[in-house]
Amino acid sequence: MRGDTAETRAIKLVDLPLVKRLSENGVVLDCELCFTQNAGSTRQGGSIFMLLLPYRGVHTLITRAGKQQVVGQFRLKPDGNCAHIAYIAPVPEDESDDDTAWLHILDAMAVEAGKRGAHLLAAEVDEHLPLFKTMRTASYSIYARQEIWQLPAGVGIEGDDSAELTEATDADLPGIQVLYSNIVPRLVQQIPDLPGDGHGLVYRKDERIAGYIAVAEGKSGVYLMPHLHPEVFSEAPAIIAAAVARTNRGAKLPVYVRVRRYQDWLDDALLELGFDCRARQAVMVKHIAAGVRTTSFVPLHRKLEAVPSPVKPPTSGITDT
């Protein structure tokens, strides 16, 4: 990392004017927040003000490196081990720009998340942004690629009676976990993606769970995260239509559907329903910590006692004169 004069600290009330100015050119790196709370724009400053001070596991840092000033924000759910970068402002506008401050803020967020128990720090990044290259330099790896599909506000979709969905309950969690394990690559399974703060809908086929759609709703939109088994390929349009119809705000607000590349067969179903591809992103992850086995040390004298009798502990061979 270039430069050795950078200073990073938690944000304070006195920083509000600076943050307001920087946020005019910020980027949201958490799709759930972006499309439910931020009017569907990844390049907008609203989210950082809603979550500016420590609140529900949200932490905001500021870095100064020379004349550069950068604000970064991440969130970590209680008892979670994967933190998620929510916001960075401003963003580098050109790949040739000096990205020292951004490298520092990315590193500082990883350190702070690690102190709070996180093992991973993730972000959803548009690959055309210069920030994507900066994150690669900061040792973030691509774990998955995804597309965000959008249905404009007011369009709505009528539910399809052929796809019956039910609200997920605690009793469904084992079946959802089996489905998740079967369709999501092991590498991606390290990023939590199952029932959390929102709710979910379950689709059953032959008395077992063949589909689960996580649902997040906010003032700006509805965000759906489908997990469908390939065996329900032909039912996919009906399942997604039924999920949109079951949401409380799907008829009035934009609806967004996240499709990761291992489920790209859903693209045809979304096109059929009138969705358009809104963004293409990389899911980037940085490992903060790894499990370390605790070594059990045995006192030296016990080891020597265990040595067979013909063998004696070594001596220096030097006698006093």
Domain range for 250: 150-278
Give domain status of residue 292, yes or no: no
pLDDT at 66: 84
The number of C-alpha atoms within 13 Å of 273 and in the hemisphere containing its C-beta is: 31
State whether 124 and 48 are in the same domain. yes
How distant, in Å, are the alpha carbons of 5, 10, 62, 227, 293 from that of 118? 27, 18, 20, 25, 18
Burial call 51-76: b when 16+ CB within 10 Å, e when fewer: bbeeeebbbbbbbbbeebbbbbbbbb
State whether 21 and 135 are in the same domain. yes
pLDDT at 56: 67
State whether 181 and 135 are in the same domain. no
State whether 13 and 127 are in the same domain. yes
CA distance 273 to 241: 7
Size (the chain), residues: 321
pLDDT at 311: 45
pLDDT at 55: 58
Instruction: Summarize the confidence of residues 144-154 as an average pLDDT.
Output: 93
State whether 201 and 240 are in the same domain. yes
Give domain status of residue 75, yes or no: yes
State whether 20 and 85 are in the same domain. yes
pLDDT at 125 > cutoff 50? yes
Per-residue pLDDT reduced to its tens digit, 203-213: 999 989 999 99
Confidence of residue 103 (pLDDT cuts 50, 70, 90): very high
- Phi/psi for 16 (5° steps) reads -55, -45
Q: What is the mean pLDDT of the chain?
A: 83
Answer with the one of 84, 109, 139 that is the final residue of a domain. Answer: 139
Beta strands at 255-260 and 222-228: parallel, antiparallel or unpaired: parallel
State whether 121 and 65 are in the same domain. yes
CA distance 265 to 237: 11
More confident of the two residues 288 and 42 = 288
Confidence of residue 202 (pLDDT cuts 50, 70, 90): very high
Confidence of residue 1 (pLDDT cuts 50, 70, 90): very low
Q: Is the separation of the CB atoms in 222 and 189 below 8 Å?
A: no
Confidence of residue 313 (pLDDT cuts 50, 70, 90): very low
Instruction: Summarize the confidence of residues 153-164 as an average pLDDT.
Output: 76
62 has which bridge partners?
9, 71
Three state DSSP letters for 129-147: CHHHHHHHHCCCEEEEEEE
Q: Of 63-67, 251-255, 314-318, give the lowest mean pLDDT range.
A: 314-318
Give domain status of residue 19, yes or no: yes
Per-residue pLDDT reduced to its tens digit, 271-291: 999 999 999 999 999 998 654
Give domain status of residue 303, yes or no: no
Give domain status of residue 318, yes or no: no
Q: Is the separation of the CB atoms in 46 and 38 below 8 Å?
A: yes
Answer with the one of 139, 158, 178 that is the final residue of a domain. Answer: 139
Provide the domain count of the chain: 2
pLDDT at 316: 46
pLDDT at 162: 77
DSSP code, position 191: S
pLDDT at 175: 94
Amino acid present at 244: V
Give domain status of residue 311, yes or no: no
How distant, in Å, are the alpha carbons of 27, 36, 264 from that of 46? 10, 12, 31
Give residues with Cβ within 8 angstroms of 63, minimum separation 6: 6, 7, 8, 69, 70, 71, 72, 101, 104, 105, 108
State whether 195 and 120 are in the same domain. no
State whether 162 and 89 are in the same domain. no
State whether 185 and 82 are in the same domain. no
Q: For position 110, which CATH number holds?
A: 3.40.630.30
Per-residue pLDDT reduced to its tens digit, 214-225: 999 988 899 999
Instruction: Summarize the confidence of residues 165-187 as an average pLDDT.
Output: 93
CA distance 220 to 252: 10
Per-residue pLDDT reduced to its tens digit, 46-97: 445 454 545 568 889 999 988 889 999 999 887 788 999 998 999 888 766 6
pLDDT at 196: 56
Give domain status of residue 62, yes or no: yes
Give domain status of residue 297, yes or no: no
pLDDT at 48: 53
Amino acid present at 26: G
State whether 245 and 126 are in the same domain. no
Answer with the one of 139, 168, 183 that is the final residue of a domain. Answer: 139
Residue that has been written with the tokens 């040595």 in this structure: 307
State whether 75 and 154 are in the same domain. no
